[in-house]
Amino acid sequence: MEENRMIPRNDSMEITLSKDDFINIFKACEDRKEKLNKIQHESSDEDEIADAGNDLVEINLVIRSLKEKADNLWGESGWTTSDEYL
């Protein structure tokens, strides 16, 4: 029988994404950020507010990293998360 082993939380993973897949993931991160901001401003539960704040720090780091990689690959004007046609 296989032994249960804890997986370190901060191990990195590399994946290859198409631009469309990247944009969907980026938009999901933006949606999560909005939900966490809403919790921070509307919740009366101190633990929930603290958890949302910690998660906001993490998601902002993820968004910043994703944006930097996309800007380097496609240029700042080479990608968008807007649903409007250009």
The pLDDT tens digits of the residues spanning 25-58 come to 999 999 999 999 999 999 999 999 999 999 999 9
Contact (CB, 8 A) for 21 and 61: no
List, for residues 1-29, the tens digit of each pLDDT value. 556 666 666 778 889 999 999 999 999 99
Residue 11 is predicted with a pLDDT of 79
Rounded CA separation 27/48 (Å) = 23
Q: What is the pTM of this model?
A: 0.80
Residue at 74: amino acid letter = W
Residue 8 is predicted with a pLDDT of 64
Residue 13 is predicted with a pLDDT of 84
Residue 28 is predicted with a pLDDT of 97
